[in-house]
Amino acid sequence: MIAKRVQAIAPSETMKISSRAKELQREGKSVISLSQGEPDFKTPLHICDAAVQAIRDGHHGYTMNTGNPELREIICDKLKEENGLEYTPDQIILSNGAKQSIGFSLLATIDPGDEVIIPAPYWVSYPEMVKLAEGKPVIVSTAFDNGFKMTADQLRDAITPRTRMLILCSPSNPTGSCYTLEELKALAEVLLEHPGILVLSDEIYEYIVFEDKHVSIAQAAPVLMDRILVINGFSKGFAMTGWRLGYLAGPASIVKAVAKIQSQETSGPSSISQKAGEAAYLSPRDAVTEMVAAFRKRRDYLVDALNRIDGVKCFNPGGAFYAFPDISTYLNSETPSGDRIRNSTDLCLFLLEERGLAAVPGDAFGEPAGIRLSYAASMEHLKEAVKRLSEGLAALKKE
Ligand X SMILES: Cc1ncc(COP(=O)(O)O)c(C=O)c1O
235 binds ligand X (CB under 6 A): yes
- Cα–Cα distance, 26 to 46 (Å, whole number): 34
Interface positions, 110-129, toward ligand X (CB under 6 A): 123
149 binds ligand X (CB under 6 A): no
Give the nearer residue to ligand X in terms of CB position, either 25 or 241.
Answer: 241
Among 158, 169, 229, 255, binds ligand X (CB under 6 A): 169
37 binds ligand X (CB under 6 A): yes
318 binds ligand X (CB under 6 A): no
Distances (CA, A) of 138 to 27, 99, 116, 165, 317: 41, 20, 6, 10, 25
Give the nearer residue to ligand X in terms of CB position, either 105 or 173.
Answer: 173
To ligand X, the closest distance from the beta carbon of 26 in angstroms equals 24
335 binds ligand X (CB under 6 A): no
246 binds ligand X (CB under 6 A): yes
To ligand X, the closest distance from the beta carbon of 323 in angstroms equals 15
374 binds ligand X (CB under 6 A): no
299 binds ligand X (CB under 6 A): no
To ligand X, the closest distance from the beta carbon of 310 in angstroms equals 30
To ligand X, the closest distance from the beta carbon of 14 in angstroms equals 8
Q: What is the DSSP string of 357-391?
A: EE-EEGGGGT-TTBEEEE--S-HHHHHHHHHHHHH
Give the nearer residue to ligand X in terms of CB position, either 350 or 365.
Answer: 365
To ligand X, the closest distance from the beta carbon of 12 in angstroms equals 10
10 Å CB burial of residue 127 (0-12, 13-18, 19+) is buried
Q: At what angle do helices 344-355 and 379-394 cross, to 10 degrees?
A: 110
Number of residues that bind ligand X (CB under 6 A): 13
Phi/psi region, residue 366 (left: phi>0; alpha: psi -120 to 50; beta: rest), is left
Among 67, 233, 268, 325, binds ligand X (CB under 6 A): 233
Asked whether 199 and 226 are in contact (CB, 8 A), the reply is no
To ligand X, the closest distance from the beta carbon of 101 in angstroms equals 8
Among 18, 65, 241, 329, binds ligand X (CB under 6 A): 241
To ligand X, the closest distance from the beta carbon of 245 in angstroms equals 7
Q: HSE-up of 341 (CA within 13 Å, CB side)?
A: 28
To ligand X, the closest distance from the beta carbon of 234 in angstroms equals 7
Beta bridge partners of 107: none
239 binds ligand X (CB under 6 A): no
Element (H, E) at 228: strand 228-233
Interface positions, 276-295, toward ligand X (CB under 6 A): none
Kindly provide the b/e burial profile for residues 193-222, where b requires at least 16 CB atoms within 10 angstroms of the residue's own CB.
Answer: eeeebbbbbbbbbbbbbbeeebbbbbbbbe
CA pseudo-torsion sign 340, 345, 4, 117:
negative
- Among residues 294, 297, 279, 210, the alpha carbon closest in space to that of 240 is found at 279
In this chain, which stretch among 51-59, 133-141, 233-241, 248-256 interacts with ligand X, using CB under 6 A?
Answer: 233-241
First to last CA, the chain: 45
Site string for ligand X, 77-106 (x = CB under 6 A): --------------------xxx-------
Among 21, 51, 159, 204, binds ligand X (CB under 6 A): 204
176 binds ligand X (CB under 6 A): no
Distances (CA, A) of 176 to 102, 116, 233, 238, 309: 19, 22, 17, 18, 20
317 binds ligand X (CB under 6 A): no
DSSP-derived letter for residue 214 is P
Interface positions with ligand X (CB under 6 A): 37, 97-99, 123, 169, 173, 202, 204, 233, 235, 241, 246
